[in-house]
Structure 1
Amino acid sequence: MPEIVKESYIGSGIVYVAGRDVGNASAVELSIEQDTVTLPNYRGGGGNYDSVTRITAVNLSMTLNAFSNDNMALALRGKVDVLTATAVEAESIIAVLDGLADTVNMIDAAQAVTVTNDAGDVEYDVDTDYVVSAAGIRCLSDGAIANGAALKVSYTSLAGSALEALVESGKTVPVVVDGLNDANGKATVLKFYLWKPSPTSSLGIITEEFGSFDIEGEVLANDAIVAAGKSKFFTRKAA
């Protein structure tokens, strides 16, 4: 009696895009679009006499839970610039009482922040006349700053990164899923040679639950692979 092979599957793993670990990925899905051309059976009895099924697209989608700018650049066809901590002196802003006067850079609220009038000869008191956030200065209606007043703010900018969205035409990158079948503890590795992600259709900014976002893209044929019997799209290796 032939041996019955049990190969149940529960997938987990680490996703690498162009060699970069994208962090926690709660889903990765492969889909293949097909187009079937049929020749009807005219000899009686109905049905088809022949058929040919062509692959029209190979798609790869993933759900990411890590909201890094590098990940969001994939989803938004963006580029990422590095931000360094810099001392900013006397940046001009206009007061909005109980609203935000946003600054050019993110403010490091842990460092000293100074707000003065436009002439620089009157200094206002933090938490009395205004409060500070990373986005800018919020002038308080019960403080000494008048609505619409021209102000100067000096601060230290936060180090980090800046995502410039929708400025790229789209990159083609390799994807490797260093996976594990949790049902049996065996390793699986999937390699997608050329993946071209498309801009995401939605992105939650304020949420009550842990956020995630989807990235979909097409796996393109890799013409560098010419050996017979080798896929131009992807390969899966399993222990």
Structure 2
Amino acid sequence: MSLISLQGKVLLAERTALGKAIRHTWVGNAPTCELQLGAETTNKTESFSGNRLQYGFLQRGKTATLNLTLDEWLLPNLILGLYAQQQSIAAATVTGEALPSPIVAGDMFRLAKPYISDLVLTASSTALVAGTDYRIESANAALIEFLTPQASAVTAAYETEEAVALTMFTQQPPERWFVLDGIDTETGKSVIVDLYRCKFNPVSSLGLIHEEYGNLPLTGSVLYDPLNVGDPILGGYGRYIEKKAA
């Protein structure tokens, strides 16, 4: 009898042009990691016995799907799930940013850059008073609510902090080499799984409001690897490794 209960670290690596894995990155806690194998088949039923029995079984293709649930919203994980590019937003000093005019009491506007501080609003060369003419609804989102009407044009000056932006659907999905550095918690045995060419779909459902901990579900295809198929130690899709018993 050989019972098994696997745990382990999931790492994703970049692939070189020669099909080698480089720059392995741990994706953080992965409570679900599942490999689904499938085959496209055609059955043939005979017509000579009178029982229409299965007479042939033609295998037309093989597929492999990887399902991952990630607990940690690390930037590399989000980039994979959002098909995103990472852009740096430098800290800046903003002056003379014009707001829509005229403004009525209760209007709320968002400034051009987030994470603001030292805000000064000016109308007709006169500084508006915080708490009387306006209030900052959210310094993070740069939301300003006006408490008094402003007939003259209003301009904003403020400081911003450095930030990182992920622009969605701005790049094609990259290929990643999957590694499970696993351990059988029943026996303490090491288990390693390699999948050489994984290409993930965009995240199908991304919770943005959470009652409890959120997660990042990823599903991808495991593709045939013509660069490694000639190596009998690797094969063309992936491999399962465990240490030989003493």
TM range (shorter): 0.7 to 0.9
Larger displacement relative to structure 2 (120-129 or 180-189): 120-129
Question: 1:100, 1:136 within 8 Å by CA — same for their partners in 2?
Answer: no
One-letter code of the match for 2:110?
D
One-letter code of the match for 1:104? A
Residue 7 (structure 1) aligns with: 3
How do 1:30-41 and structure 2 match up within 5 A? 30-41=35-46
Greater alpha carbon shift after TM alignment, 222-231 vs 206-215:
222-231
* Residue 102 (structure 1) aligned with residue 110 (structure 2): yes
Separation (CA, whole Å) in 1 of partners of 2:79 and 2:29: 16
Residue 20 of structure 2 is matched in structure 1 by: none
Output the CA distance in 1 between the equivalents of 2:97 and 2:152.
14
Q: Provide structure 1 residue ranges, at least 5 long, that are not aligned to the other structure.
A: none
Distance 1:126 1:231, change over 3 A: farther
- Could you tell me which amino acid in structure 1 is paired with residue 211 of structure 2? E
Distance 2:143 2:104 in 1: 9
In structure 1, the residue matched to 2:235 is 231
Give 1:229 shift. 6.9
User: Are 1:56 and 2:59 an aligned pair?
Assistant: no
The equivalent of 2:149 in structure 1 is 146
Normalised to the residue count of structure 2, the TM-score between the two structures is: 0.79
SS in 2 for 1:200: coil
Contact 2:6 2:185 in 1 (8 A): yes
Superposed displacement of residue 158, structure 1: 2.5
Question: In the TM superposition, what is the alpha-carbon distance from 1:148 to its structure 2 partner?
Answer: 7.9
1:188 aligned counterpart, secondary structure: strand
**The 10-residue stretch of structure 1 (85-94 or 158-167) with the greater mean CA deviation from structure 2:** 85-94
CA distance in 2, matches of 1:15, 1:126: 50
CA contact (8 A) 1:25 1:64 kept: yes
What SS is found at the alignment partner of 1:232? coil
Cα deviation, residue 9, structure 1: 1.9
Q: CA deviation at 1:163?
A: 0.7
1:116 to 112, 118, 121: 121
TM-score by length of 1: 0.81
Instruction: Provide the residue aligned with 1:84 in structure 2.
Output: 90
**CA separation of 1:169 and 1:101: change in aligned 2, threshold 3 A:** same
Counterpart residue identity of residue 213, structure 1: L
171-180 vs 93-102, which moves further: 93-102
Question: 1:113-170 CA deviation, whole Å, 9 max, x = no partner?
Answer: 22222444324226873124211132253xxx42686433333323231011011232
Which runs of 5 or more structure 2 residues have no equivalent in the other structure?
15-23
| Distance across 2 between alignment mates of 1:61 and 1:185 | 25
Deviation at 1:40, TM superposition (A): 2.8
Identity among equivalent pairs (%): 19
Alignment of 1:62-77 (within 5 A): 62-77=68-83
Cα distance, 1:17 vs structure 2 = 4.4
The structure-2 alpha-carbon separation of the partners of 1:173 and 1:123, relative to structure 1 and needing over 3 Å to count, comes to same
**Which letter does structure 1 place at the counterpart of 2:235?**
S
Q: CA deviation at 1:221?
A: 0.8
**Counterparts of 1:6 and 1:138, CA distance in 2:** 63
Q: RMSD in angstroms over aligned alpha carbons?
A: 2.7
